[in-house]
Amino acid sequence: MSSRRRGRPPRTESADTRDRILDAAREEFSERGYEKTSVRGIAKAAGVDSALVHHYFGTKEQVFEAAVEVAFAPALKVRDAVLEGPLDAAGERMTRVIFGLWENPVTRKPLLAIVRSAVNNDAAAAVFRRLVSAQLLRRIAGEIDAPDAELRAELAAAQLVGIAMMRYVIRIEPIASADVEQIIARVAPVVQGHLTGR
């Protein structure tokens, strides 16, 4: 078993070390949640000294934000899906992308970690809120020609997050085992109503 490296790595190893720390952080936050994850635990999982975690990322909240931003990147496809076609069909595109991410085991695990941490911890919730607001909802709202565009985008997102919580986190039946196409067919018109309805 190799011992943990102390201090800063050589410049050529910096990107690999940073990625290894982020991978370890995502795993730790996913397995333990925000509250029970520590910088020391992340460092141990990454095989580095905790000072190196602080060097690259700063505080635990900053490590969480970096890990969430990488894990959340696929969810930005929602923004692109809304912006890539006519607004009168954006509800179905948005719904399809969100459920596609949750149905895929590769993207589901980090999303579960993010949602569980945000529900249980104020600092994690603030990070999640900043990311969702800045990266996703404001850009979607910018495409909606209505005085309450931000509220419309938030309601559409809330509809999808609420259903995802019930299906993938709490696992309430029958929604947890319902066919995803059936859910999309029922939910997409509601999301569209939030975005463009009167």
Give the whole-angstrom CA distance, residue 186 versus residue 167: 14
Query: Which residue ranges make up each domain of the chain?
Result: 59-196
Does residue 37 sit in helix, strand or coil?
Answer: coil
77 compared with 91, residue with greater pLDDT? 91
Average of per-residue pLDDT values in the chain: 85
Question: What average pLDDT does the segment 64-91 reach?
Answer: 79
Instruction: Specify the CATH architecture of the domain 59-196.
Output: Orthogonal Bundle (1.10)
Do 71 and 43 touch, CB atoms closer than 8 A?
A: no
Cβ burial of 87 (10 Å; 0-12, 13-18, 19+) is middle
CA distances to 85, 122, 156 from 115, rounded to whole Å, are 28, 12, 17
pLDDT over 90, % of the chain: 42
Q: pTM value? A: 0.75
Do 128 and 112 touch, CB atoms closer than 8 A?
A: no
The whole-number pLDDT of residue 7 equals 52
pLDDT digits (tens, 9 = 90+) for 100-153: 989 998 888 778 877 878 888 888 888 888 878 877 788 888 888 889 999 999
